[in-house]
Amino acid sequence: MSGTRFLSRSAAITAHAEAMSAAHAAADAIADKKGEDILLLDVSELVVVTDVFVIASGTSTRHVKSLIEEVEFRLKKGMDRRVIRREGEDFGKWVLLDYGDIVVHVFDRETRDYYELERLWADAPRTEVESAAAEA
């Protein structure tokens, strides 16, 4: 694991341990590639199709794509997890990786501000993530 720190939690996490482990691995991958505003939302009590949303931002289309590539590489190599479905990669403004129990959303800043998933899922317990680079 990198120097990623998982900061505040807003409520008790109820997602399965395996889903949280995969979500932390995805957050680490994003943090190591200098992704911004990384957030884990435990949606396990709110929806039946997944347990955790990993939400992050990249600084450009290329950065968004590189963040997604790193998540996919790390989860495949380190946890033998493969993407079930991928959306939005052609445009790179909002790319989604669906692993079943976790869904990774990586946005460019403008698109993230427009859709405000954090507001939409405001009732979900959340964990904010800070990378080692942000601490320095």
pTM for the whole thing?
A: 0.87
pLDDT band at 51, cuts 50/70/90?
very high
Domains and CATH numbers, the chain: 5-129 (3.30.460.10)
Query: Distance between CA atoms of 75 and 113, rounded to whole angstroms?
Result: 27
Q: What is the pLDDT of residue 1?
A: 46
- With vertex at residue 37, the alpha carbon angle to CA 107 and CA 52, rounded to the nearest 5 degrees, is 75
pLDDT 10s digits, 18-50: 999 999 999 999 999 999 999 999 999 999 899
Look at residues 120, 119, 123, 79 and name the one whose alpha carbon lies nearest to residue 102.
79
Give 109-134 pLDDT, tens digit per residue: 999 999 999 999 999 999 988 765 55
Distance separating alpha carbons of residues 50 and 36, to the nearest angstrom: 23
Q: Are 67 and 40 in contact (CB under 8 A)?
A: no
